[in-house]
Structure 1
Amino acid sequence: MNAPLPRKKNLRGDAAWVIFQILENGKSSRDCLAKVQQRHSSKDSAWLQEMTMGTMRQLPQLQIWLRHLLDKPLKGNKKILEHLMMLGFYQLAFSRVSPHAAVAETVNAAPALGGDSLKGLVNAVLRNFQRQEMHTQLSDDPIVKSGLPKWLYQALSKQYGDNADGLRAQANAIAPLWLRINARKISRQAYSDMLTEAGVEHSLSGDHPQAIIVQSRTDVVSLPGFTDGLFAVQDGAAQLAAYYLGAQDGDRILDCCAAPGGKTGHIIETTTHLQSIIALDSDGKRLTRVKENMRRLGHTATIVEGDAAKPADWWDGKHFDRILLDAPCSATGVIRRHPDIRWLRKKSDIDALIDLQASILDALWPLVKPSGTLLYATCSVLQVENSEQMRRFLARYEDASLQPLTATDTMEMPGRQILPGEQQMDGFYYCRLLKSSN
């Protein structure tokens, strides 16, 4: 359903366009939010982020209100105005925006979306929302209250039972900002002192020697030392990858599905003299981010565009001491950080992802040296992508064995599953595999 970016910038019109692109065209916020944010100030960019992602979290409730207040669905190029109205509902029910501004400015955004003739309808719907005090009429349906699609709500209930409520609550929490201090340039304590001097509230993570958690919302680029590469933004769970991989000086490393390069950079920072490290990704545009991050941090890596499932297209025949596979997955562990994922991911996607993960594992395993290591990682909380995937892999390969990461990491339940909110981290999964020396 085509809806070109509005020619003239309008804060609420641009927010509605992002919501429309995600829900109607299946675009990720990463693809479309930046396009409108660059048209606005840093303050308005933060507002756009808050409003669009907040709408993603409350979408089922907003849709119920829309169906109640709109006599019949809008069609064609007017459909985008439904998303504008839901943005208005979100402002009135869940934000600090004044009711007057929420209504007046949302109505005034209609012309920017080609809806000049429907300003009266948008105004009437929002006024009725206020008049009927719809913000007090919240659904009792647990699926609606969770803000999740039905398939994911049920999947979490089936897998986690009584603990599923906590997971669903975390899906609607605001994720903290984790920094990984670039040990090649500055110590964590020295950077902590810089933040203190700049008045930035933060804490140190005892389990992550390079990590700092910023307590308040802030523009990353404005933090001290950003342009000098003193830190990278990387969640605490993702920071475990470099430690679990355990790269040693002299190793030849492959980081698969590497974009935007956070784990590549961290592997470099935890070693002194790698033989080489290749950052591989199939998305050329995302590899541009890897290059930018390596340049800013002052790191050197070989950056290769290629499909991890087809090594014949890019592999030089030299085996790797260690491979990190951050596999394509459902991303159900990072929904609190990327609320649009819940609506972009479909139940039908999961089987295809499981097959893709298995094909990449099968393609990469021959590239590991005897006695070498493959670290499998996902940002999923679904066992079918994680422990079950690893059990199937270990059953296929006699030369593969489990290198436990924790005391509970066993052949019956291989790997470590980190749940969203655990030690303030995102949801993540790791499993370390050792290749026999024969």
Structure 2
Amino acid sequence: MPAFSLDPPQTAWCAELRTLAAERLRPLAEKGEPGHVNRPLVAELGQLGLLKRLFTSGAVDLCLMRESLAYACTEAETALALQGLGAHPVHAYGTEAQRDRWLPQVVEGSAVAAFALSEPGAGSDAAALGLRAEPEEQGERGEGGRREAAREGAGSARTPDASLAAHSDGRTRWRLTGEKCWISNAPEADFYTVFARTTPGAGARGVTAFLVPADRPGLTGTGLDMLSPHPIGALTFDAVPVTADDVLGEPDRGFRVAMGTLNLFRPSVGAFAIGMAQAALDATLVHTARRDAFGGKLKDLQTVAHQVAEMALRTEAARLMVYAAATAYDEDAPDVPKRAAMAKLLATETAQYVVDTAVQLHGARALRRGHLLEHLYREVRAPRVYEGASEVQRGIIAKELYANMEAGQ
């Protein structure tokens, strides 16, 4: 069973990341416009070499980065994580041409990536995707092709990207039709990892992953007014053309691409949550040690001291589970899906408890706009929903437990 403890170089690196986040990243984050991609912030993450580490390090390093950045600047943490989530399928499953085209720009922070899985009617149930990838026979453009031709004839500003234009006849082509929703970085990303149904009625076995540049004809999007400060939007696919050159992995095997990506990033969502929990805990320690109350300091009240102890206990327990799951991923252990689900579930639920308790112990001041805890209180809620809600994680855990029992493990 994997165990985890930080060695001195890792401890020093985490301290360095916190300093960088506070001194170089937070000022850029504060200048960003809520609900929009902060491209200077993304570029600075590239300049610092952190985006490159998304593809050269393992799950443990990813968790260390996300926890450390979240402690000092949640916006920087989220910008880093979304670059990784959107581009990891290209790194892990893409062709050499796909990787050469996009990964250098992701690493330097000049291209923004997005992971387009959720839909209005298929959020946590990823196997129920409705976005259709309809095959187009050679020499036939169909209704979608006629709409594209009409747009081109009308002088549309959108033009097919070079990979599509250079595509030779006789290869498989599809048209993507449908919607995606709750997509982080949409509609401002430069490319999307899109999951679409290529075989109707096949459930998870009939989904294909595509790399779709944002300038493809027929792809439009709108921003959604969400609690989160980073952009989240909806995408509409109106017969968007894709070819075999855009497939990530293999046709009808896109669910593997999605789950492989989520198994890596779910523990690191837990690390993000732990970074926020630790920031809330540290702020609470300072506040309760200084705040006068009932003839002494707030920390002298047993009920307060016990609450602070509980916050610390739960945070450390969740941290250990997060890094155990990340270590299991790096060691290619057989129980990664279960561990990843457990880590995300425990860490995100723990962070919600810790931040909420911190707000309670701080009182009304914590609810004032601009206060650290007011910010964390808004940020901490979403991780319990995205990349599989807490209820979905419990379902994964139970499924894995029963599967192991039936296999005699």
TM-score above 0.5: no
Indicate the structure whose relative CO is greater, using CA pairs within 8 Å and at least 6 residues apart: 2
> Could you state the TM-score of these two structures normalised by the residue count of structure 2?
0.23
